[in-house]
Chain A
Amino acid sequence: MFVTRKAEFSASHVCRISGLSETQNRELYGEGANPNGHGHNFVLEVTVEGEPDSVTGMVMDLKQLKDVIEEEVVAPMDHRFLNFEVPPFTRVIPTTENVAREIWRRLAARLKTSAVRLAKVRLFETADLYVDVTGRDVSA
């Protein structure tokens, strides 16, 4: 069974590669390449998979999941300029793909010992663009 919890954070970022020309950056990132940055209300959906506990009837204590999301994502990223304030984006371009992957890694690390499996991270940059990250077992 899958359970999804939502969260939101607002942050600014800029997507550009310093070695490329303005035209090349615009071709890759569009307006997102504006050197001084811009911001979004990012909407995050975190999905975990597990079976409901026979005693509590819950897949996971969602307060616990909320706390993990708060600590790993919202507190460090909300109202921040990702490129300047949130590692690894001081050296990794904070595209939606990379932000979603970073969130996946942070949450996967925290949920590793939990009874549930992190199934999906969906990050909306705007209402018209979202990125899904799902896991795979590459050792299998």
Chain B
Amino acid sequence: MNAESVMVTRIYRFSASHRLDSPHLSVSENQQLYGKCNNPFGHGHDYVLEVSATGEVDTRTGLVLPSAQLDRLVEERVLKLFAFRNINLDVPQFASCVPTTENIARVIGELLQQHWNTYLGETQARLYRVHVRETGRNGFEILLGKRPNTSNHESGIVSIHA
């Protein structure tokens, strides 16, 4: 017998600048590794953030979660921190961490997990996935929990597409 597993995804956007430069590498190694992204003055992107939650569909409301509550969490704990900022200089988590989109996705996942219960603790919904698109041609995805009704996903960065 088939039942269903439901996942809700909301999409957000933020514009920010960054520079990729690792303190562990030489000037030429940084240039070779990061290319244009190593430009000393930095550059920016219109990032697209997808946040996915799974859970039972509440029989009374028909919702996995009220999206306004997810919006508040993302706006207050993520977008406020990143939007129209220089990620290297303005976001404390990147004071000593290279703001690759891998790391941005990881930090956003951590922030959402950390504050999830404050905003969504009353719901059955669980954070499942964070996907950050840096440009239309690359996206980075992190799965933060096991999807209840499938067996093959574990935590970790699982896919990068370019």
Contacts and interface: CB of A to CB of B under 8 A. Distances in A.
Contact of A95 (B3, B12, B62): B62
Contacts, number: 85
Interface string A1-37: 0000000000000010100000000011110000000
A101 B2 contact: no
Interface residues of A, number: 31
A120 B119 CA distance: 29
Interface string A114-140: 000000000000011111111111110
A100 interface: yes
Contact of A134 (B4, B12, B62, B64): B4
A94 B63 CA distance: 10
B137 interface: no
A92 interface: yes
Interface string B59-83: 0111110111000000000000000
A139 B1 CA distance: 6
A136 B8 CA distance: 17
Contact size class for B? 20 to 34
Ranked 10 nearest A-B pairs via Cβ? A136-B149, A93-B62, A95-B62, A128-B11, A132-B7, A98-B62, A135-B2, A97-B57, A138-B3, A133-B4
Interface of A: 15, 17, 27-30, 92-98, 100-101, 104-105, 108, 127-139
18 contacts: A17-B60, A27-B66, A29-B63, A93-B61, A95-B57, A95-B62, A95-B63, A129-B10, A129-B11, A132-B6, A132-B9, A132-B52, A133-B5, A135-B149, A136-B2, A136-B5, A138-B1, A139-B1
